[in-house]
Structure 1
Amino acid sequence: MSETPRLKLHARLYCGDEIAMGPGKADLLDAIGREGSISAAARAMGMSYRRAWLLVDAMNRCWTEPLVETVAGGSHERGARLSTLGETVLQRYRALQDLLAKAESSEEYAFLKDGVRPEPLPSQSE
């Protein structure tokens, strides 16, 4: 059974070939801000600590300043938090996502959505 065609708009910012910010990284920043650590954020999102750490490392390498600051050691202040830049990047990225969501009511969106088939035609090479 075919579905109605859908058009999904996603904002991804690149730093070379690396994704500096995208929907998943924004969700991870939200979780780090809420949970106070990378490991707790990873658990909350159902991903491995290693995967979360690699995403944080990529973000921190792509921006002019780190988006996530970590505090190592055994004190009660250990964990992770968003830097000032991290909070600002997350806020601005979410605002950009809101703009894209509003595009769904535009003529351009409607034209593209209406022009897409529910299923592709069979390949001519088969």
Structure 2
Amino acid sequence: MAEARLSLRVDLGARRLGPGKVQLLEAIARDGSISAAARSLGMSYRRAWELVEDLNTTFGAPVAATATGGSKGGGARLTELGEAVVAQFRALEAAAAAAAAPHLAALLARLPAAAEED
């Protein structure tokens, strides 16, 4: 049976916030480093770092605090801002999904039977 889902991207001026950047922040919080988060998401460290820097620029402050390596190793954690960005995006995503549910169901109901099996 076919499934419909909503994918949310938020335009914030000239910048965007979407599920990929939020997943990266969640992975940083879970894994404790940007490199481990990048590995868990199958992206390069450079790409992950670029996304974090883009978020820092977008919000005008760091979304993740990093510590350089050493005897205890480096790492990263979300700042209060980073945690707020994740929480607000997920809340917006849930509200949008709830509002869209009847409309998505109506669209699914209009699909031909063959399309419902894909």
**Given the two structures, how large is their TM-score scaled by the length of structure 2?**
0.78
Between the aligned residues of both structures, percent identity stands at 45
Which 10-residue stretch deviates more, 86-95 or 28-37?
86-95
Q: Which residue of 1 aligns with 2:59?
A: 63
Q: Displacement, 1:114?
A: 4.6
Q: Which residue of 2 aligns with 1:16?
A: 13
Q: Displacement, 1:113?
A: 4.5
Q: Is the 8 Å Cα contact of residues 33 and 82 (structure 1) preserved in structure 2?
A: yes
Residue segments in structure 1 that go unaligned for 5+ positions in a row? 119-126
Q: Which residue of 2 aligns with 1:99?
A: 95
Q: Which residue of 2 aligns with 1:123?
A: none
Greater helix proportion: 2
Residue segments in structure 2 that go unaligned for 5+ positions in a row? none
Count of aligned pairs between the two proteins: 113
1:17-56 to structure 2, matched below 5 A, reads 17-19=14-16, 21-56=17-52
The structure with more radius of gyration? 1
**Given the two structures, how large is their TM-score scaled by the length of structure 1?**
0.74
